[in-house]
């Protein structure tokens, strides 16, 4: 995609289907005046909406609508941009797009995300802001949309920029000491290297915590309901979703495959999956496949709700099967498993465990809060920005390099070259977030996930 950056591009910028208004967008590093005259029949004043007919090659109107021209660099992409707003019918949009490609010199159809990629390459957005564009479009909750808007406004970029500036100052001092050893200055003491590193690490830790929150807000939490047949998994799914999604009967093995639903708690998306009851003694081939898929889902879950039926506690066969499940769950990290005891109206739960009655709704609120707690979620601060796992990993690498730098700094001046290298690597890791240091392959992956026209 990068090799074709000089091409004029065009695309339908509105969602497919029927609508009151549809938009065809054109961006080009070259002059768009000939194209404007061919399609609009006249010149356009910059940044002023003009109502006129959009004409085909013979001069006949395709439709009437608004045309807006944004000369470079004052546009979304930083290039010359033309937007044609017509009636939002699919045929009209295709006719208008075809006319633009026909009338423009070497105009081609834009690839997914290419308009935003050009905005990034032309310095209109950094990479974190560009990703926030897609996150804002894809936001599934109000909290996610507001946080994506903050990221688009530069909240994450600002946090990274503050860290970067402090790291640059520290690098400058180290590099100066390496370049002028005859000065014999005691860098570690006079430059307060330990203090600078400690303050930088503390600030980085705070940004990491906020970024993990933002990633959770974007990606959500994968929650799997597990347990023996008829312990209330399907009823719990229905209760959390507030709808009758799964069939509930007293017949064991009713659920034979995964049933999933996304809900939100305090703005955090939770992807809830009900699974087939876990048992080894079924003769039903379909149910055996369902049980196998249940274990696969458990292995991929962020949180596993292990349900128990209080009305059957004490029954030898039930207890034996629960023990077999516990033994197999031993391979799952303990913090990912939440013990949930259902039917408090028919039995007494162990002290300190999550207990609920799906018949009365008792305990559901506590379970919701436990899910958020397990996810590491805190009450949404006003300035929270949305983030991606890529950002979380880049900050983690930055922290690792700073920790190594701290260890090296304790060895005094003999290891200053190694200290300088670790600080450089930390700087590079930070730069990956905003795109200061990004491979073309990474850019291709990021922008290919956008919709066409954006």
* 300 annotated as a binding-site residue: no
* Structure confidence at residue 1 (pLDDT): 47
* 123 annotated as a binding-site residue: no
Q: What is the Cα–Cα distance from 329 to 295, expressed in whole angstroms?
A: 9
* 359 annotated as a binding-site residue: no
* Structure confidence at residue 248 (pLDDT): 44
Is residue 411 very low, low, confident or very high in pLDDT (cuts 50, 70, 90)?
A: confident
pLDDT at 252 over 70: no
* 250 annotated as a binding-site residue: yes
* 12 annotated as a binding-site residue: no
Strand partners, 340: 307, 354
Nearest 5 degrees, angle CA 117-CA 118-CA 123?
Answer: 100
Helix (H) or strand (E) holding 49, with range, is none
* Structure confidence at residue 105 (pLDDT): 80
Please say whether the beta carbons of 84 and 39 come within 8 A. Answer: yes
* Structure confidence at residue 58 (pLDDT): 92
* 45 annotated as a binding-site residue: no
Q: Architecture of 2-123 per CATH?
A: 2-Layer Sandwich (3.30)
* 277 annotated as a binding-site residue: yes
* 8 annotated as a binding-site residue: no
* 275 annotated as a binding-site residue: yes
* 25 annotated as a binding-site residue: yes
**CA nearest 164: which of 430, 436, 421?**
430
Q: Which of 73-87, 298-312, 344-358 has the highest mean pLDDT?
A: 73-87
Average pLDDT over residues 28-40: 94
Average pLDDT over residues 374-402: 80
Please say whether the beta carbons of 53 and 66 come within 8 A. Answer: no
Please say whether the beta carbons of 99 and 21 come within 8 A. Answer: no
* Structure confidence at residue 361 (pLDDT): 85
Please say whether the beta carbons of 428 and 160 come within 8 A. Answer: no
pLDDT at 27 over 50: yes
Tell me the pLDDT tens digit for each residue of 192-215: 778 888 999 999 998 988 888 888
Strand partners, 262: 271
Total length of the chain: 454
* 62 annotated as a binding-site residue: no
* 255 annotated as a binding-site residue: yes
Sign of CA dihedral 162, 164, 168, 170: positive
* Structure confidence at residue 246 (pLDDT): 44
Residue with more model confidence, 375 or 94: 94
Is residue 247 very low, low, confident or very high in pLDDT (cuts 50, 70, 90)?
A: very low
pLDDT at 229 over 50: yes
* Structure confidence at residue 172 (pLDDT): 83
Residue with more model confidence, 190 or 347: 347
Q: Which of 168-172, 421-425, 437-441 has the highest mean pLDDT?
A: 421-425
* 398 annotated as a binding-site residue: no
Q: What is the Cα–Cα distance from 152 to 174, expressed in whole angstroms?
A: 34
Beta strand ranges found along 212-276 (DSSP E):
221-226, 259-265, 268-274
* 374 annotated as a binding-site residue: no
Asked which of 79-83, 94-98, 149-153, 190-194 is least confident by mean pLDDT, the reply is: 190-194
* 299 annotated as a binding-site residue: no
What is the percent of the chain where pLDDT is above 70?
87
* Structure confidence at residue 438 (pLDDT): 61
Average pLDDT over residues 329-344: 85
* 231 annotated as a binding-site residue: yes
Residue with more model confidence, 39 or 360: 39
Domain boundaries, the chain: 2-123, 137-215+388-435, 221-375
Q: What is the 3-state secondary structure (H, E, C) of 272-305?
A: EEECCCCCCCCCCHHHHHHHHHHHHHHHHCCEEE
CATH topology of domain 137-215+388-435: 1.20.120
Average pLDDT over residues 36-57: 95
pLDDT at 94 over 90: yes
Helix 127-138, helix 416-434: angle, nearest 10: 40
Average pLDDT over residues 131-154: 84
Is residue 95 very low, low, confident or very high in pLDDT (cuts 50, 70, 90)?
A: very high
Tell me the pLDDT tens digit for each residue of 360-378: 888 888 888 888 887 777 6
Q: Which CATH class, in words, describes the domain spanning 221-375?
A: alpha beta
Nearest 5 degrees, angle CA 54-CA 55-CA 56?
Answer: 135
Average pLDDT over residues 406-411: 82
Asked which of 37-41, 62-66, 291-295 is least confident by mean pLDDT, the reply is: 291-295
* 122 annotated as a binding-site residue: no
Average pLDDT over residues 2-29: 88
Question: If you average pLDDT over every residue of the chain, what do you get?
Answer: 83
Q: Which two tokens stand for residue 312?
A: 């059957």
Sign of CA dihedral 88, 91, 97, 99: negative
DSSP 111: P
Tell me the pLDDT tens digit for each residue of 432-444: 998 876 666 667 7
């Amino acid at each position: 995609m990068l090799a074709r950056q000089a091409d004029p591009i065009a695309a339908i910028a509105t969602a497919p289907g029927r609508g009151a208004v549809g938009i065809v967008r054109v961006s080009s590093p070259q002059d768009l005046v000939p194209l404007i005259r061919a399609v609009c029949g006249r010149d356009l004043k910059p940044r002023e909406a003009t109502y006129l007919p959009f004409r085909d090659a013979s001069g006949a109107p395709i439709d009437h609508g608004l045309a807006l021209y944004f000369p470079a660099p004052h546009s979304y992409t930083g290039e010359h941009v033309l937007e044609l707003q017509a009636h939002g019918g699919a045929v009209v949009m295709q006719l208008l797009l075809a006319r633009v490609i026909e009338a423009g010199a070497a105009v081609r159809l834009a690839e997914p995300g290419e308009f935003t990629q050009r905005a990034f390459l032309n310095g209109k957005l950094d990479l974190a802001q560009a990703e926030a564009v897609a996150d804002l479009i894809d936001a599934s909750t109000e909290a996610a949309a507001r946080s994506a808007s903050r990221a688009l406004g530069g909240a994450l970029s600002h946090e990274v920029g503050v860290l970067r500036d402090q790291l640059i100052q520290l690098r400058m001092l180290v590099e100066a000491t390496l370049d002028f050893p005859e000065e014999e200055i005691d860098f570690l003491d006079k430059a307060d290297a330990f203090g600078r590193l400690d303050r930088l690490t503390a600030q980085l830790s705070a940004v990491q915590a906020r970024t993990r929150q933002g990633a959770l807000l974007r990606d959500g939490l994968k929650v799997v309901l597990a347990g023996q047949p008829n312990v209330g998994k399907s009823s719990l799914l229905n209760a959390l979703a507030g709808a009758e999604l799964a069939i509930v009967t007293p017949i064991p093995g009713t659920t034979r495959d995964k049933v999933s639903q996304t809900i939100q708690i305090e703005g955090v998306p939770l992807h809830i999956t009900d699974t087939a009851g876990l048992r080894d003694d079924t003769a039903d081939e379909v149910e055996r496949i369902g049980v196998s898929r249940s274990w696969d889902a458990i292995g991929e879950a962020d949180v596993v709700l292990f349900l128990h039926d209080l009305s059957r506690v004490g029954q030898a066969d039930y207890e034996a099967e629960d023990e077999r499940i516990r033994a197999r769950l031993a391979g799952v990290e303990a913090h990912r498993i939440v013990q949930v005891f259902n039917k408090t109206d028919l039995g007494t739960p162990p002290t300190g465990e999550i207990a609920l009655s799906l018949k009365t709704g008792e305990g559901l609120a506590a379970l919701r809060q436990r899910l958020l707690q397990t996810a590491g979620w805190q009450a949404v601060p006003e300035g929270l920005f949305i983030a991606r796992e890529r950002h979380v990993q880049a900050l983690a690498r930055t922290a690792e390099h700073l920790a190594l730098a701290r260890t090296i700094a304790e060895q005094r001046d003999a290891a200053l070259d190694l200290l300088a290298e670790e600080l450089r690597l930390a700087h590079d890791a930070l730069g990956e977030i905003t795109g200061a240091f990004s491979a073309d392959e990474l850019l291709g992956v990021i922008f290919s996930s956008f919709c066409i026209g954006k």
